[in-house]
Chain A
Amino acid sequence: MGELIFNGAMLVFFIAMLIYSSQIAIWQGHIWARYWPMTLLVIAVILFGIKVVGIYKELPKEQRKFSWEIFGLKNKNVRLLLLSFAWLLVYVAVLPKLGFVLTTLLFCIGMEMLLGAKFSLKTLLGAFAITITIYAIFTWGLGISVPRGVGRLYDFGKWLEYLWS
């Protein structure tokens, strides 16, 4: 059922994109700007249509009913997985505000726990080591400027960058 939902969602998405593609402007006779993606979308709709029909036919009748249980939310690892998606998004959203060092340290602690570690000194040291290693390679080693954060964190980030030079 999950496969049917995914393929169905892809089919709906590509149908929507196909309709949207008709609005792509044709400028100075460059017709392929519209028709190249449109051709690909037509093929995508056909392929996903065949898949959806095929999957539906292969599903036993009793499995054709929708149920929230197919998402497996009662399974602990599924909840951890969804949490990891959210954790990544939070990391990137917060990065410009808190700066690279602090955000990465917090992210690494969380990530280690998602991967099965318990909150302990070892976990903290591991997160610290990873943060420093990545910072050393990219900022000190390669001169790539990373987000410094705002306020005091910005000053700290700037100080840390120039520590090496």
Chain B
Amino acid sequence: MSLLLLGIKTVFSPAVLLWITLGVILGVIFGALPGISATMAIVLCIGFTYSMDPVVAISFLSAVYCSAITGGSITAILFKIPGTPSSAATVLDGYPMVQRGEAGKALTVALVSSGIGGLASAIIMFILTQPLMKLALKFSSSEQFAVCFLGLSILVFLDKKRKLNTFASAIVGLWLGTVGLDWFSSVPRFTFGSSKLLDGIEALPFMLGLFAAVEIFDQIRNPDDRSAFSKENQAKLSKLASFKELWELKWTALRSGLLGTLVGIMPGAGATIASWLAYTLEAKFSRNPDMLGKGDPHGICASETANNAATGGAMVPLLSMGIPGSNAAAMMMTALAIHGVQMGPLLLKAQPAYLASTFTAMILANISMIFVSFGVAKVFAQILKIPYHILGTFIMMLALAGCYAYQGNLMDMFLMIFGGIFGYFFKKYKFNTSALILALVLGPMLEKNFRRGMEMADNNIVAFFGRPITLVVMSIFVLMYAYAFYSSIKEKKAAAKVSNV
């Protein structure tokens, strides 16, 4: 309680509140630009803070960090370009809602859910940093492998009618994740002597190709009926979600917020796993699971609440142990260190004002994001009124420029084009691009944790899987697949009975 009061006393000044609001707006804009991740947003904003008071600087950067993750959902929903891999799950329901002319509603759900997720995790972080850190320390490679594996369990629910295609898509993604230099032995794999492939297949450019480029190619091949954006439906474009519609999402937000915070605490897990796990959970709890993936606001809420909740979770190991939970958290660590924050167990005793101001700034940033989101949603929804030949070209250019901006490498642009061409046929022949992307992102983590865990267990597979938390998580995985298998047999029998009648 004293920490909260200290935080309020430190942060509640006009200058700090103004910088927090500015940080939210900048963070959302940066996050919306593909190729400009939360990590880069913080890097770009550090320069503004050199001459600032440390509390102001910390508050501003915390606001940028929280809102940059949110910004990715805007382009994910409107243009099918996820700003970051953690927004890929948002595309599944966000873009279909835009196609129905409900862009404003989809954006409101995403931005408000993000605010709530970040707020919940910041509050949990405030209260439970020490006990949560003890839990995080129990997660070694074996447990992280199990969590990644559980993240892949979404596959069962992605497309029930084409399970073989979904599994095949995932295998393709897992294999693509092996291209490049091996992490442990530095042996090149599937590079065919090319130095350009030594870094492997980067997920972001490939994903931009799979989602954005494929959408443009679809429009060229099958010029769409744009009646969703006709004059009659234009009023719907900027119509925001009502309070009643947002209230219906409360249980989804609660589940996803808790899950995202827990997953965010685990180093390396991050917002991507959090968003997909929350989406899986939503598929289990949803009253209309068939609607997921076809424009259900619950899907957007699950993904966005979880990926923002992971931002707070990632700060737990960062502030209490000096171990960043994600790339963006690592950049925050650098930024905080520049301003004299000494992360670790002594932070609470030595610099309580800095700890308190970080937490309080994150809480205020997320509250402010909920209000800012209404204005942002209305403005961005207007973009869809632009004629498609200009909008489509802009989307393609934004994706290409984003690929180049990511690492300053032309190879990423080629990768995006390859992803687009491959993705077009992949989608045409009813494979699952979401499964491919999920596997591409999780694959390297899965392999690294498996191999590291096996080394630590002296190649004893029983010791690897026998750890208590690993055992529990893998049991959940087995139960989910067993249930899915049992459900599909039951459905087939019921269908056979109906056809016999």
B185 touches A30 (CB 8 A): yes
- Interface positions, chain B 451-477, Cβ under 8 Å from A, are 451, 454
Q: Report if B393 contacts A (CB, 8 A).
A: yes
Report yes or no: A37 in contact with B189, Cβ–Cβ below 8 A: yes
A-B CB proximity, top 3 nearest: A30-B185, A117-B389, A115-B389
Contacts of A59 in B (CB 8 A): none
Interface presence of A6 (CB below 8 A) = yes
Q: Mark B37-56, 1 if CB is under 8 A from A, else 0.
A: 00000001000000000000
Q: For B398, list chain A residues within 8 Å (CB).
A: 134
- With beta carbons under 8 angstroms apart, the residue of B222, B393, B410, B451 that contacts A32 is B451
Residues 1-20 of chain A: 1 if any B CB is under 8 Å from the residue's CB, otherwise 0? 01100110010001001001
With A126-B393, A138-B401 as given contacts, are A114 and B220 in contact (CB-CB < 8 Å)?
Answer: yes
Given contacts A33-B184, A80-B220, A95-B410, A142 and B405 within 8 Å (CB-CB)? yes
Complex Cα spacing A43 to B178, Å: 15
Which residues of the other chain, A, contact B389 by a CB distance below 8 angstroms?
112-113, 115-117, 123, 126
- Given A25-B187, A88-B420, residue A112 in contact with residue B390 (CB < 8 A): yes
Complex alpha-carbon distance, A112 and B184, angstroms: 47
Tell me the minimal C-beta distance from B280 to chain A in angstroms: 21
Among A24, A40, A134, the residue within 8 A (CB) of B187 is A24
Show 26 A/B contacts (Cβ-Cβ < 8 Å), sorted by A.
A17-B190, A24-B187, A24-B189, A25-B187, A30-B182, A30-B451, A33-B184, A41-B175, A77-B220, A81-B217, A84-B216, A84-B220, A88-B396, A89-B417, A92-B410, A107-B397, A115-B216, A115-B220, A115-B393, A117-B389, A117-B390, A134-B394, A137-B33, A142-B44, A144-B405, A144-B408
Among residues of B, the one whose C-beta sits closest to the C-beta of A130 is B394
- Interface assignment of B94: CB less than 8 Å from any CB of chain A: no
Interface residues of A in 69-120 (CB under 8 A from B): 77-78, 80-81, 84-85, 88-89, 91-92, 95-96, 104, 107-108, 111-117
CA of A41 to CA of B424, assembled, Å: 22
CA distance in complex: A69, B165 (Å): 26
The interface size of chain A toward B, counting residues with CB under 8 Å, comes to 66
Q: A32-B454, A115-B393, A142-B33 are in contact. List 6 more A-B contacts (CB 8 A).
A: A28-B185, A33-B182, A84-B220, A95-B410, A117-B387, A134-B397
Q: B454: which A residues are within 8 A, CB to CB?
A: 32
CB distance from B431 to the nearest CB of A (A): 9
* Nearest Cβ on chain A to B211's Cβ, whole angstroms: 15
Interface residues of B in 184-199 (CB under 8 A from A): 184-187, 189-190
Instruction: Tell me which residues from 32 to 64 in chain A have a Cβ below 8 Å from any Cβ of chain B.
Output: 32-33, 36-37, 40-41, 43-44, 47-48, 50-51, 54
Q: How many A-B residue pairs have CB under 8 A?
A: 158
Q: For residue B413, which residue of chain A has the nearest CB?
A: A92
Q: Which residue of B lies closest to A113 (CB)?
A: B389
Q: Indicate which residue in B171, B447, B450 contacts A44 across the interface (CB closer than 8 Å).
A: B171
- Interface residue A153 (Cβ < 8 Å from any Cβ of B): no
Best-surrounded residue of A24, A40, A130 (most CB of chain B within 10 A) = A40
Shortest A88–chain B CB gap in Å is 5
* A151 CB, nearest partner CB in chain B, Å: 19
Docked CA distance A54–B163 (Å): 14
- Min C-beta distance of A103 to chain B, whole Å: 10
Provide the bound-state CA to CA distance between A115 and B216, in Å.
8
Complex contacts, B404 vs chain A, CB 8 Å: 144, 146
Q: Is B349 an interface residue (CB 8 A)?
A: no
CA distance A134 to B43 in the complex (A): 20
Assess whether A27 is interfacial by the CB under 8 Å rule. yes
The residue that A81 contacts in the complex, of B220, B390, B394, B401, with Cβ under 8 A, is: B220
Shortest Cβ gap from B28 to chain A (Å)? 14
Q: Counting chain A CB atoms within 10 Å of each CB, which of B400, B408, B414 scores highest?
A: B400
Shortest C-beta distance, A118 to chain B (Å), equals 9
Q: Are A37 and B178 in contact (CB under 8 A)?
A: yes
Chain A residues closer than 8 Å to B414, beta-carbon distance: 89, 92
The answer to whether residues A142 and B36 also contact, given A41-B175, A115-B220 and a CB cut-off of 8 A, is: yes
Residues of chain A lying within 8 A (CB to CB) of residue B394: 130, 133-134
Instruction: Confirm or deny: B247 has a beta carbon within 8 angstroms of a beta carbon on chain A.
Output: no
**Which chain B residues lie closer than 8 Å to A2 at the CB level?**
428-429
What residue of chain A has the Cβ atom nearest to residue B439's Cβ?
A: A40
Q: Is B117 an interface residue (CB 8 A)?
A: no
Closest CB in chain A relative to B188 CB, distance in Å: 8
> Across the interface, do A20 and B451 meet the contact criterion of CB distance under 8 Å?
no
